[in-house]
């Protein structure tokens, strides 16, 4: 009788799971990617994956934290607060381009799945708080909370343009981001923020 060999666990199983999820999402609709598919792609058994992540959305959140870390590590900007916010959000879009097919697949699924949208928005807001912190913009208190909400809206609006922008220079995304930041500045000025 043949003995069953134990699976060799990857060196960083969490990263392997995120990478497997992205690879699968880049090849097919995220809506059709299962946790079992991700575990298999990462070289993990389902029980091990369940101890790392609660659900597929949790894997997406872990990916977003990876993007946050990459952007924060590479960000360097001077100028006005607005310039810094523009620069860091463009840096973020540039980072998303590295996984573009997978991110587009995940975005498409989140537009049709209310659960993904509801779970995802607080994580996007958390990411935007980190982006503002990197720009040395206050995120504490009610004014800080309103800034986070405003930048989250700006980012979400620009993300729609990024989704359709296949140009190398991301001109459409930059224009959308610029317009959205102008609107946010007008609203902030109206309310004394």
- Highest mean predicted confidence (pLDDT) among 7-21, 44-58, 173-187: 44-58
Question: pLDDT tens digits for 119-172?
Answer: 788 899 999 999 999 999 999 999 999 999 999 999 999 999 999 998 989 999
Please give the Cα distance from 63 to 43 (Å, whole number). Answer: 18
Q: Are 185 and 82 in contact (CB under 8 A)?
A: yes
Confidence of residue 14 (pLDDT cuts 50, 70, 90): very high
Can you give the C-alpha Rg of the chain in angstroms?
Answer: 19
The pTM of the full predicted model, rounded to 2 decimals, is 0.87
């Amino acid at each position: 009788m043949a003995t069953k060999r134990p699976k060799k666990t990857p060196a960083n199983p969490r990263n392997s799971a995120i990478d497997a999820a992205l690879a699968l999402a880049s090849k097919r609709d995220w809506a059709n990617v299962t946790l079992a598919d991700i575990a298999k792609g990462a070289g993990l058994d389902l029980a091990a994956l369940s101890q790392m992540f609660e659900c597929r959305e949790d894997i997406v959140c872990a990916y977003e934290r990876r993007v946050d870390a990459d952007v924060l590590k590479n960000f360097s900007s001077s100028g006005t607060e607005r310039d810094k916010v523009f620069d860091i959000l463009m840096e973020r879009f540039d980072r998303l381009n590295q996984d573009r097919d997978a991110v587009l697949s995940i975005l498409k699924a989140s537009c049709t799945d209310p659960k993904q949208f509801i779970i995802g928005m607080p994580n996007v807001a958390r990411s935007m708080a980190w982006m503002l912190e990197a720009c040395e913009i206050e995120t504490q208190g009610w004014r800080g909370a309103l800034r986070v909400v405003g930048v989250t809206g700006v980012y979400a609006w620009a993300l729609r343009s990024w989704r359709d922008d296949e140009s190398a220079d991301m001109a459409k995304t930059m224009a959308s981001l610029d317009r959205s930041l102008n609107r946010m500045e007008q609203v902030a000025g109206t309310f004394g923020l």
